[in-house]
């Protein structure tokens, strides 16, 4: 990807799944990586091993994004790791499933918004402030979801957090454009990861989903990584405030029955 070699990028939630896929692709593109994780020690050690074997410089930082008061210190560490950052990928998040009646007090709702929306807001703002002080451009990619555009039962908290992330990304793009700080959104569809592969790979479940997806298959973490590299690269230098949907056509189809 044009202009990525040597770029310093913080990826949150890089211990597994899409975050690990992003790390692999950006490592191949020659980026220097700050890899965040919360609890998955074995996962982040594997990601670190993979990216260093690909020739990338990388450091690992731990932080629990439920503890918002710790984010300033975490970001300062990330910024200092390579004497600054050129890109921020807000990937870490919770996939919460519950109905409003089962979460009547909104406890799970607020925890989800804290990690999926408030934490990226704070990290993006810290990144923008640091870039402005350093008089340098920057690029932010927020990993959202198709649930920010169209959703279903059980996903009120998750969908609200992702729709909110789409919205604040557009606002931040407008506010920070004058400083040459770009903010774009990646909205993945159904992408099997370690947690969901056992279920999604079952023949009956796979057929159920593949019949609904025009491309006839799931997405891959590697494809999400390629899209992230594209959004961070100079190829999208005039792209900001946009939502890039990668879902095999699921949202475009509108979930209509197969004909």
Catalytic residue ranges: 158, 162
- How far apart CA 220 and CA 192 sit, in angstroms, is 7
Residues 165 and 117: beta-carbon distance below 8 Å: yes
Q: Which two tokens stand for residue 83?
A: 């004497």
Distances (CA, A) of 248 to 93, 131, 150, 220: 22, 35, 15, 11
Cα 156 to Cα 103: distance, rounded to the nearest angstrom: 10
Q: Which two tokens stand for residue 107?
A: 């406890």
If you count them, how many residues does the chain have?
259
The answer for residues whose C-beta is within 8 angstroms of residue 135's C-beta and 6 or more apart is: none
């Amino acid at each position: 990807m044009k202009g990525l070699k040597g770029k310093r990028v913080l990826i949150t939630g890089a211990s597994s799944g899409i975050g690990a896929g992003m790390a692999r692709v950006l490592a191949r593109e020659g980026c220097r990586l700050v890899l965040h994780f919360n609890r998955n020690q074995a996962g982040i050690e594997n990601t670190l091993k993979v990216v260093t074997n690909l020739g990338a410089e990388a450091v690992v930082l731990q932080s629990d994004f439920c503890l918002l008061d710790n984010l300033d210190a975490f970001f300062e560490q990330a910024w200092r790791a390579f004497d600054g950052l050129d890109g921020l990928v807000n990937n870490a998040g919770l996939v919460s499933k519950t109905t409003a009646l089962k979460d009547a007090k909104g406890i799970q709702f607020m925890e989800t918004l804290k990690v999926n929306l408030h934490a990226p807001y704070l990290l993006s703002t810290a990144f923008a402030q640091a870039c402005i002080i350093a008089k340098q451009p920057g690029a932010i990619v927020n990993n959202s979801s198709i649930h920010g555009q169209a959703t279903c039962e059980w996903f009120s908290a998750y969908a609200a957090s992702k729709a909110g992330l789409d919205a604040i990304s557009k606002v931040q793009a407008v506010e920070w454009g004058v400083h040459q700080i770009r903010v774009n959104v990646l909205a993945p569809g159904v992408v099997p990861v370690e947690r969901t592969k056992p279920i999604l790979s079952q023949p009956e479940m796979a057929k159920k989903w593949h019949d609904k997806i025009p491309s006839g298959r799931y997405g891959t973490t590697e494809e999400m990584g390629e899209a992230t590299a594209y959004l961070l690269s100079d190829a999208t230098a005039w792209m900001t405030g946009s939502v890039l949907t990668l879902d095999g056509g699921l949202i475009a189809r509108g979930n209509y029955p197969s004909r």
